[in-house]
């Protein structure tokens, strides 16, 4: 994964429509007479992706030798799985950590039970991270759990068996490009073939041929996995990626993400550490840590609360995505207690409210001031984060209601129409302070109002060729507006079809590394002059916030980026209630 605290120089793959892999067993003949795999049909793709779309919630596991230093090297305690690169540890020194990697407390059945009790439907574990260490006995390199550690046993096989026994799907993460131990592997911050230690310098193509390709073949032929999760495709061209892509045919039905590189789009987009304001088209999955690191860091106690995780899960599902939530086990093979506690709380909520998560699809609402919504067939699930003080939930929906009830208790609720909205009468107190869900059934297809920015006119003070301002209001985070490289401050101006009271806004930033830390101001043209009403600083993950309602037709967003040029993937303005 991308480094969080020490910085990363890699560009993340752009969020693009998925590029399905060819269907297994189907071939066509080219004009040159060569038989190649045909593209799968939409029906075949839907069948292959069906379980993943139903699952919604999965467990990510980052585990390896980096769990031994546990985040500390020298006096610095901010390291994670990137510790070898961030601290520029020599190969020989880093390999000494393997002598202390002895996960005698590893209980794969317990890991699976923890995931299942949390309501997770699948798992993805690092078979090899960027440090090149494999959690299985590889015949390709002795830098593996069987040959380099006192444990001397396969860690992946037992987990695969345990997951399958409990009905969970399982996948492997594999760092195909970066490898800081095996000679020739890519190293972030260094040119191809280079590094900070002569021991790992070498030919990148030799590394691919001698390590990456045969190891991917090993994991795909030894283990019945369902997902292959690539990462950081440095130096990856179409020619270099092709042998790796071809190997995926060894595992029929395999799902892979969009980080192989070389133009291979994969099946799922992968926003990292943030929930897009808009979501992405097609299949996508937010991956996120429970604290600030992917690998185990004994000094990082900045844990996300269960309430935060539940709301993120609901928000992601409301935008049509999946949530892959990470745990970094200790070197002895245990999940940190804080992780287990939070996963247990999320699981408790899901046992009462799982119908509002599993198998749901994107919300028909672009914005709800009080929470989010998911949908399944004829039912809308209203996830209420902010319980209305007056006991009236205002739903911007034109349909006539058929029924409404609290999902967790089954208590029926009364509905009526007023001021063009559906009003649901609620009890005085929220049944669940994290997320109280109302199951609402209405007549017909949900009829909602379009965003104010739909059909609006947009201009920019400057734009990089191929990154026009129109990209910022196309309704997705897929494309982006970007200013030219020599511009540090630029603005977008949006003119709505008519003046409207705006009560909130959402801003997505380009999904790039390093993250775009930008200062922003949002202003409205009121009484013949621009008046600012919102300002702040982003962390590259965008922002969504409520404001005091502003009545205007023209709005201007000014972005300032000290490192690189300003950019916006999506700007949305939301009407006041």
HSE-CB at 6 with a 13 A cutoff on CA atoms is 23
pLDDT value of position 141: 98
| Pair (90, 199) in one structural domain | yes
pLDDT value of position 334: 98
Residue carrying structure tokens 């830390």: 517
Name the residue range of residue 109's domain. 39-356
Residue 61 in contact with residue 126, Cβ under 8 Å?
Answer: yes
pLDDT tens for each residue of 520-576: 999 999 999 999 999 999 988 889 999 999 999 999 999 999 888 999 999 999 999
3-state secondary structure of 238: helix
Count: domains in the chain: 3
Cβ neighbours of residue 276 closer than 8 Å, sequence gap 6 or more: 15, 284, 286, 319, 321, 477, 508, 542, 569, 570
Domain finish residue from 386, 413, 442: 442
Q: Assess if residue 101 is contained within a domain.
A: yes
pLDDT value of position 521: 97
| Pair (423, 524) in one structural domain | no
| Pair (382, 471) in one structural domain | no
pLDDT value of position 33: 42
CA angle 442, 310, 279 (to 5 degrees): 65
pLDDT tens for each residue of 485-515: 999 999 999 999 999 999 999 999 998 888 8
pLDDT tens for each residue of 39-89: 899 999 999 999 999 999 999 999 999 999 999 999 999 999 999 999 999
Q: Assess if residue 235 is contained within a domain.
A: yes
Domain finish residue from 399, 417, 442: 442
| Pair (281, 394) in one structural domain | no
Domain finish residue from 301, 324, 356: 356
| Pair (399, 318) in one structural domain | no
Q: Assess if residue 29 is contained within a domain.
A: no
pTM for the model stands at: 0.93
For residue 375, what is the domain's CATH number? 2.60.40.1180
Q: Where does residue 576 rank: exposed (0-12), middle (13-18), buried (19+ CB within 10 A)? A: middle
pLDDT tens for each residue of 180-225: 999 999 999 999 999 999 999 999 999 999 999 999 999 999 999 9
pLDDT value of position 2: 55
Q: Assess if residue 11 is contained within a domain.
A: no
| Pair (395, 462) in one structural domain | no
Q: Is the pLDDT of residue 20 over 70?
A: no
| Pair (414, 511) in one structural domain | no
Q: Assess if residue 30 is contained within a domain.
A: no
Torsion angle of the four alpha carbons 227, 231, 233, 236, in this order, in degrees rounded to the nearest 10? -30
Q: Assess if residue 476 is contained within a domain.
A: yes
Helix spans in 32-126 (H): 42-55, 83-86, 91-96, 108-117
Omega of the bond leading into 298 within 30 degrees of 0 (cis)? no
Tell me the angle at which helices 238-247 and 213-222 cross, rounded to the nearest 10 degrees: 20
pLDDT value of position 424: 98
For residue 502, what is the domain's CATH number? 2.60.120.260
Distances (CA, A) of 85 to 93, 233, 516: 12, 16, 22
Q: What is the 3-state secondary structure (H, E, C) of 149-202?
A: CCCCCCCHHHHHHHHHHCCCEEEEEECCCECCCCCCCECCCCCCCCCCCHHHCC
């Amino acid at each position: 994964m991308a480094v969080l605290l020490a910085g990363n120089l890699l560009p993340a793959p752009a969020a693009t429509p998925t590029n399905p892999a060819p269907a297994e067993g189907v071939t066509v003949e080219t004009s040159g007479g060569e038989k190649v795999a045909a593209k799968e049909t939409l029906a075949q793709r839907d069948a292959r992706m069906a379980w993943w779309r139903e699952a919604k919630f999965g467990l990510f596991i980052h585990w390896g030798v980096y769990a031994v230093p546990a985040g500390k090297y020298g006096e610095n305690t901010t390291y994670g799985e990137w510790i070898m690169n961030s601290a520029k540890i020599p190969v020989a020194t880093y390999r000494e950590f393997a002598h202390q990697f002895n996960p005698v407390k590893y209980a794969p059945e317990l890991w699976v039970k923890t995931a299942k009790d949390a309501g997770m439907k699948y798992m993805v574990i690092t078979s090899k991270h960027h440090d090149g260490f494999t959690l299985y006995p590889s015949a390709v390199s002795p830098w593996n759990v069987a040959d380099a550690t006192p444990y001397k046993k396969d860690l992946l096989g037992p987990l695969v068996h345990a997951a399958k026994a409990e009905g969970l799907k399982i996948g492997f993460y594999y760092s195909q490009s970066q490898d800081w131990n095996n000679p020739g592997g890519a190293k972030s911050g260094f040119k191809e073939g280079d590094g900070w230690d002569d021991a790992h310098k070498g030919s990148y193509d030799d590394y691919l041929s001698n390590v990456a390709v045969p190891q991917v073949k090993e994991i795909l032929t030894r283990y019945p996995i369902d997902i292959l999760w690539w990462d950081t495709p440095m130096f990856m061209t179409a020619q270099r990626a092709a042998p790796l892509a071809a190997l995926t045919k060894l595992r029929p039905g395999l799902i892979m993400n969009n980080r192989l590189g070389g133009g291979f789009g994969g099946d799922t987009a992968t926003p990292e550490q943030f929930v897009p304001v808009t979501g992405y088209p097609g299949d996508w999955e937010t991956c996120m840590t429970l604290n600030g690191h992917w690998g185990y860091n004994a000094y990082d106690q900045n844990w996300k609360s269960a309430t935060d995780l539940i709301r993120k899960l609901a928000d992601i599902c409301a935008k049509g995505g999946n949530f892959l939530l990470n745990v970094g086990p200790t070197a002895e093979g245990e999940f940190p207690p804080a992780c287990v506690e939070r996963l247990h709380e999320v699981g408790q909520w899901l046992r009462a409210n799982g119908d509002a998560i599993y198998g749901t699809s994107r919300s028909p609402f672009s914005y709800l001031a009080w929470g989010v919504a998911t949908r399944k067939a004829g039912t809308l699930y209203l996830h209420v984060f902010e319980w209305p003080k007056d006991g009236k939930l205002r739903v911007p929906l034109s349909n006539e209601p058929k029924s409404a009830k609290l999902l967790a208790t089954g208590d029926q609720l009364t509905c009526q129409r007023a001021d063009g909205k559906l009003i649901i009468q609620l009890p005085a107190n929220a049944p669940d302070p994290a997320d109280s869900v109302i199951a609402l059934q209405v007549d017909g297809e949900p009829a909602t109002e379009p965003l104010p920015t739909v059909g609006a006119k947009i201009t920019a003070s400057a734009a990089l060729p191929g990154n026009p301002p129109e990209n910022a209001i196309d309704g997705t985070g897929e494309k982006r507006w970007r200013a030219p490289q020599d511009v540090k401050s630029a603005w977008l101006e949006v003119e709505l079809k008519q003046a409207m009271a705006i009560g909130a806004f959402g801003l997505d930033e380009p999904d790039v590394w390093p993250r775009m830390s930008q200062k922003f101001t949002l202003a409205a043209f009121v009484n013949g002059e621009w008046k600012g009403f919102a300002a702040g600083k982003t962390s590259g993950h965008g922002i969504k916030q409520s404001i005091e309602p502003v009545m205007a037709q023209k709005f201007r967003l000014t972005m300032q980026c000290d490192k690189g040029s300003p950019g916006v993937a999506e700007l949305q303005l939301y009407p006041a209630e």
